[in-house]
Amino acid sequence: MINDQKICFSGVQPSGNLTIGNYLGAIRNFSNYSDAYKCFYCVVDQHAITVRQVPAELRRRTYETLALYMACGLDPEKNTLYVQSHVPAHAELGWILNCFTMFGELSRMTQFKDKSSRHADNVNAGLFTYPVLMAADILLYQTDVVPTGVDQKQHVELCRDIAERFNQIYSGTFTVPEPMISQSGKKIMSLAEPTKKMSKSDENPNAVVYILDDKDTIIRKFRRAVTDSDTCVRFAEGKDGINNLMTIYSCFTGKTMEEIEREFDGKGYGDFKTAVGEVCADALAPVQARFAQLLADKAGLEAQMKKGADEASYYARKTLSKVQKKLGFVPVPRG
């Protein structure tokens, strides 16, 4: 615990363009934790390379993800914002924890099964073991809580198992973290296939609304969203498309499902889809404007990268040194 504050950690991959699912389910909520927790928010570029990346695009998106963190309200004076590969302790602890993680545990990870089926030509060892690196990310900072989506909860549970296993062998070393799942916007679905999660890697551009889409594009995508043959705006079983749109509208307006049903009573799907697009575009407009300002100041972003890396490294090295000492590693001799 740092200065008697509990620790919060999360990270976002700089792979693909971030969606409103990333925004509503994660990034927008991050700033809510800044007063109650000491927060570490990382651009997890090392995780991104489990899938082949174009180097120039990965560099660009690393800057963009950091800028989006700040554009979405993360104050760098209240939060530690940094790039994962700038803190070598992440990879170092990742290797150590690989030796305390069972093959069977990793083989049960549903995201590995999903990604290996989608990238059958590149089922690499990193794709298999990246939940261990994720555990290292979290445990390095003695993290108490991890804001996460439902789809990542399994990885946090594995992290807890690894921490408890290490603690049992070497006595109390790691804080065992708790997942913290937002109740609003916890899972935003595809506009084209509303039984699937909205994914930044979706090949259908109409299935996904990106944080940086312009207003006309956002409204057009919502107008094309898949619904059903009914015309009544109501949240009900079997109405996956409308349920998803109502969830998105609720996240942006704060209205309950009952309030949304009353607001659109007697109106058709066309009116509702347009309204969802408009509230989404209006909410993202100030984020996009601030993002453009931040991205234009490359020197400012790099200064933040260094500041964040220095601060994160200080805390990460304390945990890594503790782990290495317990394992019996000989420290670098002084002098």
* Residue 78 annotated in active site: no
Task: Tell me which of 200, 255, 307, 318 is the catalytic residue.
Answer: 200
* Residue 197 annotated in active site: yes
**b/e per residue 118-137 (b: at least 16 CB within 10 A):** eeeeeeeeebbbbbbbbbbb
Joined tokens for residue 202: 């979706």
Strands 79-83, 6-12: pairing kind: unpaired
Q: End-to-end CA distance of the chain, in Å? A: 32
Joined tokens for residue 271: 């009116």
Q: Give the Å distances, CA to CA, from 329 to 31, 313, 317.
A: 38, 19, 14
Q: Spell out the alpha helix ranges (H) of 171-297.
A: 215-223, 240-253, 257-263, 269-296
* Residue 307 annotated in active site: no
186: left (phi over 0), alpha (psi -120 to 50) or beta: alpha
Judged by DSSP in three states, 226 sits in coil
Element (H, E) at 4: none
Task: Tell me which of 38, 115, 186, 221 is the catalytic residue.
Answer: 115
Give residue for tokens 């992440």: 90
Instruction: Tell me the three-class secondary structure of 159-189, residue by residue.
Output: HHHHHHHHHHHHCCCCCCCEEECCCCCCCCE
Just list the catalytic residues: 115, 197, 200
